[in-house]
Each structure stands twice: as structure tokens, then as C-alpha cells.
Amino acid sequence: MAKINLTRRQFVTAITLGAGTVLLDKSVFALPTNLSGLSTDPFQVVKLGKSGLKTTLLGMGTGFSGYNRSSNITRAGVAESLIRQAYEKGIRFFDCADSYGTHPSAAAALKGFPRENYLLSSKIWVGQGGIPEPERPDADVVVERFRKELNTDYLDLVQIHCMTDAHWTDQQKKQMDILENLKAKKIIRAHGVSVHSLEAMKACVESPWVDVVHVRVNPFGEAMDNKDPAEVIPVIEKLHKAGKGVIGMKLIGNGKFRNDSDKIDESLKYVLGLGTVDVIIVGFELPEQIDNYIGRVKNALRSK
């Protein structure tokens, strides 16, 4: 997707007109403990299904336009500062992947903060392309590298990245077994998958191995597994009923709605109103966007 160039002043003007004045209070700087359903707090703690993981409703994605171990925020040189600012504002879920190249930035940004206060998620790439080298080592080798890159003893969530085949649970059985063993050793706390087809998503419903799944969801069918959300939403509901943790991504249509304030708000209200998506992630590129989305999520939750 082509990058849209806005000056800082233009961006601030646009988001102010779109979302109104964003008011922050002291509560966003502390990890809330209310687990009794959704309040109007973007930083309320929610459960990721039956995975045992708990984190903030609003999380940060680090892989917008991510490929070959880079993303927009690494290429712009702002990954570390944005991740740190997101933490300081109250976000406690950080979504990384081998193909995004954000592990070192996340490690540097979160250094000094109590490890138990935030969740680190990453994804292993098993297909062609996506990462520079042609070799695809087994998951235990890859996760060991992740731990070093993230400077952590454990990862909260490791997923198999970008599954599209209806039979991925058969094709990736070896890696799934390795990840299960790593969970038993407490090297990872949960495992799962990110899906990029409706068939792959349906396979998650029937798989007891899947703890947490990333799904692409918005009311417009943009960058989703089917252009008709009515085909996707029932499958997400089945995932939720099966106890899978559900992380909503592509709420802004892979950035397509980034300059359409009404569509952003409509998408947030829609996804948060489903009652089947546990955590939503947004790929911030500018510091102003963090505050902007805090305000937008608050407004969306008030309208529920």
C-alpha cells in the first residue's frame, strides 16, 4: 500500500476533527483489574479465551506493512519509541512476528518495566518468502532465537503465522507438537495461529491445540478472509464459543480507512460490539495515533 505523507500539523488537525479532543486520566497509566465484562476503559483487563492469558483490551500491532523482518515503524526508525510510549499510555499487549523485525525494538522499549506487567506475542514464519533466509528451522530453534532477541525468559504467546490452507493443522503437526512441548516447559504460555483464509479459520474451531487466533475483522470486508463479513462473523463466534482467545486485526482495513474518520469509528464500534473479539490491535505509526485511538475506543465503548 502506498504511504500517505502528512505533515505533523495536518495529521493532528485530521485526528482532532475526526475524534474530538482526547482526554486522558491517570487510570490509563495503571493496569486495571476489572474482569467483569467491558467497561468504557480501553485498558481494562480481558481474558484471551481459555488460554489463561489476560491483558488490555487495546493492544499494539508492530507489523503494519511488515515483511522480510521490517515494518513501517522499523523502516521509519520509530519502533522503539512508539512501543515505549504505548506502554506508558497503558497498553500491555505487544504483537510481534519474525517477519516484522520488531523483536529488538520491543526488547529495548520495554527494558526496565516489570516483565509480568505486559504480554509479548510473536509468530513463526513457516512458508516461502516472508523472512530473508531460505531455511525454516523447527519451532524450538526459532523460539530460542526469539527469546534472545526479545531479552525474555518466556513468551506469552507464539503463533504459526499466516495460515491459509484448510488442512494446516495436519501440515503443521510437527511444529504444533514442538510448541505444545515448549508450553509444557513454560517457555511459552500459549500457542495458536494467525489465519488469512476463511477455511484456515474454520480449522481453528475444531482444533483443541489452538489457544489463541488472530482474525481479520471489520464491517466492510476489507483485507478480510471473505469480502462479506456475514460469512466471517459466525466463524469468529464459533471460535469464541469454543474458548479460543480471539485477537482482532485489520480493523482499519490494513490502513485503507486511515484517513476516513467515520469508517474508523464505525469499525471500532462494530468489532467491539460483537462480543466475540477479546483483544483488538492497532498498528500505530505516530505518537499522536496512540492518544487518538485511546479516545476512539473510549467513545466506541460508551456507545455500546
* Superfamily the domain 40-302 falls into: NADP-dependent oxidoreductase domain (3.20.20.100)
Q: Which DSSP symbol is given to 83?
A: H
Instruction: Pull the grid cell for residue 145.
Output: 532465537
At residue 10, does pLDDT exceed 90?
no
Can you tell me the distance from the alpha carbon of 164 to that of 200, in angstroms, rounded to the nearest whole number?
5
CB atoms within 10 A of CB 192: 28
pLDDT in tens, 241-272: 999 999 999 999 999 999 999 999 999 999 99
- Residue 291 confidence class, pLDDT cut points 50, 70, 90: very high
The stretch 53-80 carries a mean pLDDT of 96
Helix (H, G, I), strand (E, B) or coil at 123: strand
Ramachandran category for residue 125: left, alpha or beta (phi over 0 → left; psi -120 to 50 → alpha): beta
pLDDT in tens, 197-210: 999 999 999 999 99
More confident residue, 259 or 10: 259
Can you tell me the distance from the alpha carbon of 161 to that of 302, in angstroms, rounded to the nearest whole number?
34
Can you tell me the distance from the alpha carbon of 11 to that of 29, in angstroms, rounded to the nearest whole number?
25
Largest CA distance in the chain: 51
Alpha helices in the chain (DSSP H): 8-19, 72-75, 79-89, 103-110, 139-150, 168-171, 173-184, 198-206, 229-241, 261-274, 287-302
144 Cβ contact partners less than 8 Å away, ≥ 6 residues apart: none
**pLDDT value for 38:** 80
Ramachandran category for residue 194: left, alpha or beta (phi over 0 → left; psi -120 to 50 → alpha): beta
